[in-house]
Structure 1
Amino acid sequence: MAAADPHEPWFLRPLGPVENNPTALRLILGGKLRELRIAAGLEPADVDSRLGFSRSKTSRIELGRHGCKRADALALLRLYGVEGEERAGEFMRLLEQSHRPDWWRSYSDVLSDFFTPLVALEGAAERIRTYEPFYVPGLLQTPAYTHAVIKAGPGGLPARDAIRRVELRQERQRQLDLPDAPRLWAIIDESVLLRAVGGREVMRSQLEHLLKMMERPRVTLQVAPLDVSGAIGIGTGVTFLRFALGDLKDAVYLEHLTDSTFSQKPGVVEEYRDMLDRLGACALTPVESAKVLRGRLEALSTP
């Protein structure tokens, strides 16, 4: 069994905002344990058997689906030939941070399982790219607009749940105010601007908010004319996450009517990244998009 190099650094550079994201840390640390296991020539079942783990526990830890206890981590590191506080210290420090509760767990009462992966990881991204064919992207919505979108959705949520979902969206947006916030590149279908969601006043305030957000250096907004979005044919809401660290794979989130797909499969991610590239190249420039927003705002302001 090949032992890991005791002098090899765990990480080549600081993790940055990822250190404040327990979900991202669990994924990264699980990936490191997987690398060590493969280098040691072991299968997950071998590790489960040698350490007395329940079936598939090793695989769940490596996938970030199972919180890794300190004792389990130390046992795994010893099995893989990693000894000494100097070598394991950084890993164990990050492991402790991965045990902190994620901020979004306080909204678990209104957070759908299919939406959780996006909410959990978007704050750790270096760049967020999103296209919305029906509504203003969630990270750019005003509270009133969000409430109107929720009310228009299927199911007829109780008033309390609707308020909680608005609060959740506002908390997600606050991540854009942090010093190391992700860069946001949003493309909105032109048809979104033609729908007065929530009424004229709500839409006017929403357009004013978009123009204000466009002044931020880390926010880019483009409008995709109807003929352009129709030619590219994405047809659904898409969010692409790119992480600064190679330890986290790019991801894509596809939103459907009643569920969604979250994937880190390279083929799927590359396909939608390419579609976003083509859409961005054909969409209006940010300057042109701002003119369209102002024109629509003026139209809504006319009695």
Structure 2
Amino acid sequence: MAVAEPSPSLFARPLGAVEHNPTALKVILGGKLRELRVAAGLDPSHVDSKLGFSRSKTSRIELGRHGCKPSDAAALLGLYGVDDDVQVTEFMRLLEQSRRPDWWRSYSDVLSDFFAPLVALEGAASTIRTYEPFYVPGLLQTPAYTRAVVQSGPGHLLAHEVHRRVELRQERQRQLDNGDGPRLWALIDESVLMRIVGGERVMRAQLEHLVAMMQRPRVTLQIAPLDVTASVGVGTGLTYLRFAPGDLKDAVYIEHLTDSTFTQKPRIVEQYRDMLDRLGACALTPRHSLETIRERLARL
């Protein structure tokens, strides 16, 4: 008697660490529903009408901006012809995962709306690439350095607000400790090493921390000399999130003075990826960057 072939997964690859990130799962599941709808030859408005949804509900679900109820997901899968028990069970299991609270929600009191998209998705990335022109990247900061940066910002923050922001940054850093967590490739403007943040003692401890982090196999750090950053012209801090090939598009987060841009539009993402590639090619190698940091330490 022939053994039945296992049902193919609805997803391009095992989701791995992404399953622990509810925000990423919402985006992936929404994108999968959109893919199924397009394959079924249906327009979002037609789906809304057929299933009795409110106007634009299908589009909102596909964008992953809010959770999808199990009953709505079951109706959508049925309409799109997904009736394989294994595939439906897989989708509903991931949907249940996506409805869990994100860890960072508990920091909503100190987390700016414009910063939330980066914090929400960075833990699901396979690689985080970042360039910082003014400060050590947040994922590499010591608590004392973070405190000094936060206190130097605009507005007057209460002591508990400063503490909460330092705590949030430490929680973000813990994602790098996970075995399947993201790799970090950081490019730092040379001027960052010269800028004394929090006093010499804090700065010394921060540079020593960078030296220690550079020993990690999943962390790459390069110093970009002043003439390099002047010629490449990045001009602002940015973070590029690269996700494993599959169901989540790469993203870029670009910092501005009082807000930011977070986008997954391929054309824009590609432009900034190219900029980081050019900057990395011109920056000091990791070995020479380590020597530069140690030389700066010796002068403090």
What is the TM-score with the length of structure 2 in the denominator?
0.96
Amino acid at match of 2:233: G
* Bigger Cα displacement from structure 2, 205-214 vs 78-87: 78-87
Structure 2 gap segments, 5+ residues each:
1-5
Structure-2 residue corresponding to 1:3: none
Q: Distance in 1 between matches of 2:242 and 2:29?
A: 18
2:7, 2:84 within 8 Å by CA — same for their partners in 1? no
Identity, % of aligned positions: 75
2:11, 2:246 within 8 Å by CA — same for their partners in 1? no
Structure-1 residue corresponding to 2:262: 262
Matched, 1:212 2:212: yes
Q: Distance in 2 between matches of 1:180 and 1:7?
A: 27
Amino acid at match of 2:257: L
- Pairing 1:110-149 to 2, within 5 Å after superposition: 110-149=110-149
Q: Distance in 2 between matches of 1:235 and 1:158?
A: 31
1:214, 1:221 within 8 Å by CA — same for their partners in 2? yes
Matched, 1:91 2:88: no
Structure-2 residue corresponding to 1:15: 15
Q: Distance in 2 between matches of 1:273 and 1:12?
A: 23
Q: Deviations over 1:195-219 (max 9, x none)?
A: 1100000000000000000000000
Q: Distance in 2 between matches of 1:11 and 1:55?
A: 28
Structure-2 residue corresponding to 1:41: 41
Q: Deviations over 1:268-297 (max 9, x none)?
A: 111110010000000001111111101111
2:144, 2:198 within 8 Å by CA — same for their partners in 1? yes
Aligned length: 295
SS of match in other structure, 2:223: strand
Structure-1 residue corresponding to 2:3: none
1:84 shift after superposition: 4.0
Amino acid at match of 1:186: A
Q: Distance in 1 between matches of 2:27 and 2:91?
A: 13
Matched, 1:201 2:164: no
1:53 shift after superposition: 1.0
Q: Distance in 1 between matches of 2:136 and 2:129?
A: 13
Q: Distance in 2 between matches of 1:71 and 1:114?
A: 31
SS of match in other structure, 1:136: coil
* Bigger Cα displacement from structure 2, 270-279 vs 154-163: 154-163
Structure-2 residue corresponding to 1:78: 78
1:7 shift after superposition: 4.8
Q: Deviations over 1:14-35 (max 9, x none)?
A: 1110000001101111011001
Amino acid at match of 2:80: Y
Structure-2 residue corresponding to 1:160: 160
1:129, 1:185 within 8 Å by CA — same for their partners in 2? yes
- Pairing 1:232-251 to 2, within 5 Å after superposition: 232-251=232-251
1:164 shift after superposition: 0.4
1:15, 1:245 within 8 Å by CA — same for their partners in 2? no
SS of match in other structure, 1:124: coil
1:49 shift after superposition: 1.1
What is the TM-score with the length of structure 1 in the denominator?
0.96
Q: Distance in 1 between matches of 2:32 and 2:188?
A: 38
1:55 shift after superposition: 1.2
1:66 shift after superposition: 1.9
Q: Distance in 1 between matches of 2:69 and 2:122?
A: 25
Q: Distance in 2 between matches of 1:18 and 1:245?
A: 12
Amino acid at match of 1:99: R
1:41 shift after superposition: 1.0
SS of match in other structure, 1:145: helix
Structure 1 gap segments, 5+ residues each:
1-5
Q: Distance in 2 between matches of 1:132 and 1:37?
A: 41
1:139 shift after superposition: 0.2
